[in-house]
Amino acid sequence: MTDAAPDREAVVDLGAVRRNVETLRATIGTEHTIAVVKANAYGHGAVPVARAALAGGADRLGVADVSEALELREADIAAPLLAWLHGARPDFTRTVEANVELGISTLDQLDAAIDAAKSTGRVAVVHLKLDTGLSRNGLSADAWPTATRAARAAETAGLVRVAGVFSHLSGTSPDADTAQADALDRGLADAARAGLDPEFVHLAASGAALTLPGTRYNTVRLGISIYGLSPFSDREPAEFGLTPAMTLRSRVVATRSIPDGQGVSYGHTYRASGDTNLALVPVGYADGLPRQASGAAEVWIGGARRPVAGRVAMDQIVVDVDGTPASVGDEVVLFGDPATGVPSAEDWARAAGTIGYDIVTRLGSRVRRTYVGE
Ligand SMILES: *Cc1c(COP(=O)(O)O)cnc(C)c1O
């Protein structure tokens, strides 16, 4: 980026990540904690966040893709690391060589893990995933007895180690989640009958880990909560002692005054009610601001929350600063920690009809990440 390019910055407080993990571990109390750093750590930056989460007491890391796992290994992160979403007909050779543990959701994936063990001469460490009702990824209950027996045979042959058994919840209701835990219990009994003795049993992500103790087993997989956002759209992170780690900030690049009735931005969906002042902020939907939040979101300028005037454009928004003094170069906070008065990522999510996860994860490539609190 040159000095002339606009300032678009996501400041990530790694101290907040570390403290969030400490707080979560104290609340949840499981023996093991998998910090989920998929999708570039929900937009926060996988490598620095992984280090901060480990410093906060997470003992394992989780990602979706093996490519995400290999990036962490290339950054010399040696912690136990699980990847659980694979392409069609995967080749796990590099993954097993890099000592990355594999979530196994099909018999083909189990075969691929065995092949990788044979070709590398290393034991493939796997976590068998049972579909307990989400109907997304995981072995079906029908395939489970066959899979557990095949995994045990490969274990006996010294090719595989079944380190874990896991599943994922739908979060539909406490009753539905509890029924999934019951299905996992049945799957664990099958696994024991097949001769497996998994060290890690995990079902709960942030939401259930915080609110349904019966889903915790000995390991939880925590994503959104380590970033200081709430897994629930109707509960604030502060209720759980969590602090948002990301602040999206920019600077005013132009100001103008407009008369009563003047329309603003595409389609003139906003009209000034009275003479007013506008500030131009160079962050748009290409940078991750949801266009659906047009006309509903607020940003922080000059010590106050001010409304976004009209449509969010690709590269910029216009803010009605009215009586608030705003000058070129003034700092703008799009979202951050609401305890400081600024809008939260959840506020943007509500304005756009989505969830906080979607707001932080979608930041575009023009947004520079910087780190504080290391
Ligand atoms: C993303 C993901 C998680 C983390 O979920 P949060 O709600 O962000 O805590 C856990 N497990 C699986 C399988 C996931 O895909």
Atom of ligand 1 nearest to the CA of 224: 8
**Pocket around ligand 1: residues whose beta carbon is below 6 Å from it?**
36, 38, 84, 168, 205-207, 221-225, 231
217 is catalytic: no
Give yes or no on whether 14-227 and 246-372 have one common fold: no
Strands 270-271, 304-307: pairing is unpaired
Q: How confident is the model at residue 374 (pLDDT cuts 50, 70, 90)?
A: confident
Residue 107 alpha carbon to ligand 1 centre in Å: 23
Give the pLDDT mean for 186-211. Answer: 98
| Residue identifier of the C-alpha nearest atom 6 of ligand 1 | 223
Which residue is catalytic, options 42, 118, 217, 266?
Answer: 266
- Confidence (pLDDT) at 222: 98
Distances (CA, A) of 19 to 34, 52, 142: 15, 9, 42
Atom of ligand 1 nearest to the CA of 205: 9
Position 279 pLDDT exceeds 70? yes
Fold of the domain built from segment(s) 14-227 = TIM Barrel (3.20.20)
Q: How confident is the model at residue 325 (pLDDT cuts 50, 70, 90)?
A: confident
Domain limits, the chain: 14-227, 246-372
Contacts with 349 (C-beta within 8 Å, 6 or more apart), sequence order: 233, 355, 356, 358, 359
Residue 221 alpha carbon to ligand 1 centre in Å: 6
Enumerate the known binding-site residues for substrate: 136, 314
- Confidence (pLDDT) at 2: 63
| Residue identifier of the C-alpha nearest atom 13 of ligand 1 | 168
Which residue is catalytic, options 38, 270, 285, 371?
Answer: 38
Q: How confident is the model at residue 323 (pLDDT cuts 50, 70, 90)?
A: confident
SS3 of 181-206: the string is HHHHHHHHHHHHHCCCCCCEEECCCH
Strands 246-251, 8-13: pairing is antiparallel
Residue-wise pLDDT tens digits, 103-154: 999 999 999 999 999 999 999 999 999 999 999 999 999 999 999 999 999 9
42 is catalytic: no
Give the pLDDT mean for 5-29. Answer: 97
Atom of ligand 1 nearest to the CA of 84: 13
Residue-wise pLDDT tens digits, 52-93: 999 999 999 999 999 999 999 999 999 999 999 999 999 999
Fold of the domain built from segment(s) 246-372 = Lyase, Ornithine Decarboxylase; Chain A, domain 1 (2.40.37)
- Mean pLDDT for the chain? 97
Q: Are residues 256 and 272 in contact, defined by beta-carbon separation less than 8 angstroms?
A: no
- Confidence (pLDDT) at 1: 52
